[in-house]
Amino acid sequence: MGRPLPLPVLSDYAALLRARGLDGRARTYLDEREALAAAVNTHGWDGEWYLRATCDDGQPIGSSLCLEGRIYLNAQTWAIIGETAPPERVAAVVAAIKQHLDREHGPLLLFPAYTAPDKRIGYITRYAPGLRENGGVYTHAACWAIMAAAMVGDGAWANALYEKICPVLRGQQPEEYCVEPYVTPGNTDGPASPRFGRGGWTWYTGSAAWLYRVMHEWILGIRPTRDGLIVRPLIPERWPGFTARRLFRGKVYQIEVTRGPAALAINGREREPGRRWSGTGL
């Protein structure tokens, strides 16, 4: 199946080591990264998607062999975000998410929901079907799905996922949504719940920061990197463009993106989308 792609934490740490001249130690981390990715791809692939885990008795979790909890979202999105899935598997992972997990109110954390507690798996099976981690739309994981969609270059899908969980848009159906439209909810009831689409656990989640981050860095496409600021928008087709003000490493960037030949301007000067800018000369 070819050489497995890198895992980002080990890769990023190796880059820091190399920046300090520790090339030998960096190579150790890169070798470990490749070995770990190879193990995941050898033992964690279920045929059409990645397993979530195994029970202590060796039974798989998140497998096509499971009647409930057959597929988990995080195992798929992080195979993309972590660059673990080789190119020939990325398309299969995306197709599995779209077929089994992506619903009208966002991507489900797992499907189908568990209908009875399973002590081998743990507390998520003790939630009622469709609530929170048991087959609901868990906002942290939904944000990572947006990020994964953007990383594969599917801007339309990334934007669709964002709009499905955006509190302001969901608040336009208050009888269904039931919670504040100005607060990011921790979760939304899934299709196994009699209140499918109901928000929950507002004012009690760190996912608001993730929602802001994926919107800013992966839809608007303004991302900080070690080498500089990168601008690579994936905005909806109906948008004529946008403006943004970004403070980065002590400099203020006034960014204007428009559709057409002049696609990107930073501090009043045309720039090539997708390039990194360190701030020098801007």
Domain ranges of the chain: 44-219, 226-282
- 226-282: CATH topology is Maltose phosphorylase, domain 3 (2.60.420)
Residues with Cβ < 8 Å from 224, sequence gap 6 or more?
Answer: 217, 230, 248
- Please give the structure tokens belonging to residue 222: 């303004």
Grade residue 7 by pLDDT with cuts at 50, 70 and 90: low
Which amino acid, residue 196?
Answer: F
Contact (Cβ atoms closer than 8 angstroms) between residue 51 and residue 66: no
- Say what the pLDDT of residue 204 is: 80
> Is a pLDDT exceeding 90 seen at residue 2?
no
Grade residue 35 by pLDDT with cuts at 50, 70 and 90: very high
CATH architecture group of domain 44-219 = Alpha/alpha barrel (1.50)
Span 182-206, mean pLDDT?
Answer: 94
Contact (Cβ atoms closer than 8 angstroms) between residue 105 and residue 94: no
- Say what the pLDDT of residue 281 is: 39
Q: What is the pLDDT of residues 235-269, one digit of tens each?
A: 998 999 999 999 999 999 999 998 876 556 666 66
For 204, counting Cβ atoms within 10 Å of its Cβ (0-12 exposed, 13-18 middle, 19+ buried), the class is exposed
Grade residue 272 by pLDDT with cuts at 50, 70 and 90: low
Contact (Cβ atoms closer than 8 angstroms) between residue 61 and residue 50: no
- Residue 19, strand partner residues: none
- Say what the pLDDT of residue 101 is: 98
C-alpha 30/C-alpha 36 separation (Å) is 10
Please give the angle made by the CA atoms of 94, 98 and 102, to the nearest 5 degrees: 130
Contact (Cβ atoms closer than 8 angstroms) between residue 251 and residue 282: yes
> Is a pLDDT exceeding 90 seen at residue 278?
no
Percentage of the chain modeled with pLDDT above 70 = 90
> Is a pLDDT exceeding 80 seen at residue 205?
no
Span 149-167, mean pLDDT?
Answer: 96
> Is a pLDDT exceeding 60 seen at residue 5?
no
Where does the chain have alpha helices with state H? 8-19, 23-43, 73-81, 87-96, 139-151, 155-165, 167-170, 174-177, 207-214
> Is a pLDDT exceeding 70 seen at residue 177?
yes
Q: What is the pLDDT of residues 40-82, one digit of tens each?
A: 999 999 999 999 999 999 999 999 999 999 999 999 999 999 9
C-alpha 116/C-alpha 128 separation (Å) is 8
> Is a pLDDT exceeding 70 seen at residue 273?
no
Residues with Cβ < 8 Å from 65, sequence gap 6 or more?
Answer: none
Grade residue 9 by pLDDT with cuts at 50, 70 and 90: confident
